[in-house]
Chain A
Amino acid sequence: MPDYEHLTVGVLALQGAFREHAIALEKCGATARKIRRRRDLAGLDALIIPGGESTTIGKLMVSYHLLDEIKGIGAEGLPIFGTCAGLVMLARELVEGDQPLLGLMDITVRRNAFGRQVKSFEAALEIPALGAEGPSGIPAGGGQPHGPFPGIFIRAPWIESAGAGVEVLAEYDGHAIAARQDKMLVTAFHPELTDDLRLHELFLQIMGGSDPAKT
């Protein structure tokens, strides 16, 4: 696996599965920093917005003055990876309902699109961008599973529509559930709840500029 040691990636730590993202980043060799206050954002190379309750995270981002700040540095090009609630936060617009959003990605999102918790599910996902052996061509984390990615969908959203600049990376049951736009990556599912590091590694490559899709 390439060396990501010089990279400091923030993980928004207001609520949700932030610890699991930090662990995944460190397994990839990057440095993780938990972000709770505005001053924590200084000098970051990238940011992850974890799964959690999007309504709650959105409100907390406003009350801790993080929303405008992150919107600003995101617009200037800070790479951001959002999972589940993080995907919702990055959306330009919601199909239904209203909550504070960063609006950095040209996607329209439906929250809880697959239903309430009794409809939460696991499914094996085909994500061509990961390639057969992960983005680096070397099994990430020294022996990660190859092939389909283990998708864990919890009260998950989907991407209802996406603008021209957005590349859909995976679909499930006809709905877009992973995408990227420039240096932003989103998934409707939770790679942080698995041992599979391929999506974290893909993000580290995208942000580092060694873009697997363009090499």
Chain B
Amino acid sequence: MSDMKIGTMTVKAGLAEMLKGGVIMDVTNAEQAKTAEEAGACAVMALERVPSDIRADGGVARMSDPEMIQEIQKSVTIPVMAKARIGHFVEAQILQSLEVDYIDESEVLTPADEANHINKWKFTVPFVCGAVNLGEALRRISEGAAMIRTKGEAGTGNVVEAVRHMRTITGDIRQLAGMDEDELFMAAKELRAPIELVQWVAKNGKLPVVNFSAGGLATPADAALMMQLGAEGVFVGSGIFKSEDPAGRGKAIVEATTHYKDPEVLARVSAGLKKAMIGMEIKDIGEENLIQHRGW
């Protein structure tokens, strides 16, 4: 049909709208993908190693093997996302040709370009990008990101950084919303973000795209905490498949995300879960080893 348009910002951001209120789970093979779908995940992130293993193994972390991604695509009907390195537009081209449903230009992998992120406008497939504050979120959106997630500190099982980043973004938005229109030009300069996006956020009091939380969530209460802080959904990486009972914990986190304001449900789903992943103190990791500083 001649009037049909693909790859528009509306359909890219529209898929993120459909994922809202849901849990996106990291999976490393088809079997885990099925477990995630069965537990109620609204999408899966296909990757070779979950962040806690990447952290432990060290070395360069890259895009996953296309064969593994395709096996996961065959095994589930929910959307399949995959990660490309920051700035690695060829990995993104490969993932687009595999028809993944979303690309995460992710700091969890080793960055390929220390100055430039991928020009996401050139792609039909939508991108989600991490951010620690409003300026970073708006820079990613100006490059074409159709969805934002807080970075948190991936692979730690410690929610403290995700909380910091979500509070920073919502606090930054509140500050903009309270400004006089004349002050927005200076704010844009300080945020290092395009004035048009700054004006939009000031007027609407929210990001122009969906904002999820990620990085360190490990329990149903963590997921509900992030939702109450303003996340529109959550990514859970190592927290599910590094726990003792991924199926049970996955289902509990999904329920907690839906019923995030309902302490009765939260108490019920938190009860009797087997062990969570152990988790790490952020200060024990060392500033130079923090993943959240990747990306600019």
Contacts and interface: CB of A to CB of B under 8 A. Distances in A.
B77 A97 contact: yes
A190 B14 contact: yes
Contacts of B99: 115-118
Interface in B266-280: none
Interface stretch (B16-24, B161-169, B212-220): B16-24
10 contacts: A15-B42, A16-B18, A52-B21, A56-B22, A64-B258, A117-B79, A117-B125, A123-B1, A154-B18, A155-B15
A99 B258 CA distance: 20
Contacts of B251: 63
Contacts, number: 127
Contacts of A152: 10-11, 14
Given A52-B42, A84-B18, A123 B5 contact: yes
Contacts of A172: 1
B215 to A, nearest CB: 21
Nearest to A13: B21
Interface residues of A, number: 43
Interface stretch (B33-41, B111-119, B172-180): B33-41
B6 A121 contact: yes
B18 A173 contact: no
A195 B18 CA distance: 17
Contacts of A154: 11, 14-15, 18
B259 interface: yes
B7 interface: yes
Interface string A106-149: 00000110011111111110000000000000000000000000
B8 interface: yes
Give 6 nearest A-B pairs by CB, closest first: A117-B101, A120-B11, A15-B21, A53-B42, A116-B99, A15-B22
A159 interface: no
Interface in A57-86: 59-60, 63-64, 84-85
Interface in A130-185: 152-155, 172-173
A123 B1 CA distance: 9
Given A52-B42, A118-B7, A85 B101 contact: no
Interface centre among B3, B12, B124, B126 (most CB of A within 10 A): B3
Contact of B1 (A36, A56, A173): A173
Interface in B95-138: 96, 99-102, 124-126
Interface centre among A36, A56, A84, A85 (most CB of B within 10 A): A56
Contacts of B4: 121-123
Interface residues of B, number: 42
B5 A118 contact: no
A182 to B, nearest CB: 27
Contacts of A173: 1
Contacts of A124: 3
Given A63-B251, A116-B100, A154-B11, 12 more contacts: A13-B21, A13-B258, A18-B21, A36-B258, A55-B37, A59-B38, A115-B99, A117-B101, A121-B5, A152-B10, A152-B11, A152-B14
B43 interface: yes
Contacts of A13: 21, 258
A60 B6 contact: no
Given A97-B77, A123-B4, A155-B79, A53 B43 contact: yes
A64 B1 CA distance: 41
A32 to B, nearest CB: 16
B210 to A, nearest CB: 10
A121 B11 CA distance: 6
A51 B5 CA distance: 20
Nearest to B38: A59
Given A14-B258, A153-B11, A116 B40 contact: no
Contacts of B10: 122, 152, 193
Given A152-B10, A152-B11, A36 B17 contact: no
B203 to A, nearest CB: 16
Contacts of B76: 55
B254 interface: yes
B40 A52 contact: no
B84 to A, nearest CB: 15
A16 B78 contact: no
B222 interface: no
Contacts of A59: 38, 40
B17 to A, nearest CB: 5
A15 B10 CA distance: 19
Nearest to A172: B1
